Structure 1
């Protein structure tokens, strides 16, 4: 069956989740934070994902903004920057998260897919307002047919109800969809649903997850995604 639709995860795939901490570290007067930003970015992202999984399996859903704040608080605890005198730093990080930078190759890859007549969309754990902020900041709204959020089903990925949002929105079969994610577990979950799955493997030290489902494609960069049209 021919491919009709390309769907992208948002955070870590189209948008650089380390950008908020990295950009804050570069601001004047942030020398103390600059020593800690890589650890903050690492723990913030790890806890963000862990909290979504725990909430999904315990039926304790909340929106992704609350999860993001909880995860940041954990990260700041780790580097001992969560005392009242550091609250301004916390608020600045959260502000920057609404303005995450897109990976530089993302717009061109999306444009090539649109030029080829493909449906394009985001499917994300993010809340609609968060995703709208990121999409508008990146200037890619015109390259997307839709931005789909787990808030429509009230459970985080990799629940099948989330991936089903795509087939309902585009009235298509799972095998018509190529789903692109930089998160190995997400690429696996999408493959388990029936999508043709693509893992954007940005971290060379990370291995394919030992799960029942594997991504059909493994790429190092979004710029190679349009090449999948020829496969």
Structure 2
């Protein structure tokens, strides 16, 4: 199956945004996001899949996110990204995954595929049904890299990701050592503090049937 990974920073109540922007400004946490989504074996590249609003929230000077294949999902087939490859416009998540699977032989192979927002895309991805077998090419989310914002509560958030633990059974929090093994580098352990905000780097895996941690 095509395995997808969600990566997100969210409060205890799953708040992820306010007025179309992040409610916090955490350079070290953003550096973690950049390293995780960029880190791939030599000769490979990761992909970041996002909705149009998330794409537009990235400052133009940083678009596309470098060293990653950028895929933007929009129902407007005439939407202009105003950038060159490796950036692609697709109508939905399934088409996005198919496009990444059908890259030309001359393209760098894709290693990991990350869903980076926004809220509706997180919901669509998490709701994808489990494929009938590991050999299926149907996309399925089996991992969430969650930066849990512990305090303050950021009650002004007006955009939320789904409560994946309660809505979709089978999720369990992985050990910190497993997080480091999967991302391929050391990750600060325990509660971190930056600019008066405390947070923790977590990884959640979906133990659903034969979808197990041994496969990455």
Same fold (TM over 0.5): no
TM-score w.r.t. length of structure 1: 0.39
The TM-score, its normalising length taken from structure 2, stands at 0.41
More strand by share: 2
Structure with bigger helix share is: 1
Answer with 1 or 2: which has the greater Rg.
1
Task: State the structure with bigger RCO (CA 8 A, min sep 6), 1 or 2.
Answer: 2
